[in-house]
Amino acid sequence: VSDFEYEFEMALANRWMSERKVDTVFLMTDEKYFYLSSSLIKQISSLNGDVSGMVPDLVSKMLREKYNQES
C-alpha cells in the first residue's frame, strides 16, 4: 500500500468519525520524491546508508545526527 493510499484511508475514516466535519488536504510533492517513503528513508538511514541524494540537505543532516553517522 502506498503512502497516499494509507493517508487516503485515514482521511476517509476521519471524515466518517467526525460526521463529515473534518476535511483532509493532500499536497503533491516534487516529482523527484514521488517514489520515496519515509519508512524507506528511515530504514536506509538506520543502516548507515547515504540518503543525501534522496532528501533535502537539511533532512539528510538531521538523519545523520539522529543515527550518529559521519558526514
Question: Does 62 have pLDDT greater than 60?
Answer: yes
Q: Return d(Cα 44, Cα 50) in angstroms, integer.
A: 7
* pLDDT tens track for 22-57: 999 999 888 888 888 888 999 999 999 999 999 999
Whether residue 65 contacts residue 45, with contact meaning beta carbons closer than 8 Å, is answered with no
What's the residue count for the chain? Answer: 71
Q: Which residue type occupies 20?
A: R
Confidence band for 4, pLDDT divided at 50, 70 and 90: confident
DSSP 6: H
- In this model, does residue 2 exceed pLDDT 80? no
pTM: 0.58
What residue ranges do the domains of the chain occupy? 1-28, 36-71
Only one residue has cell 523527484, namely: 32
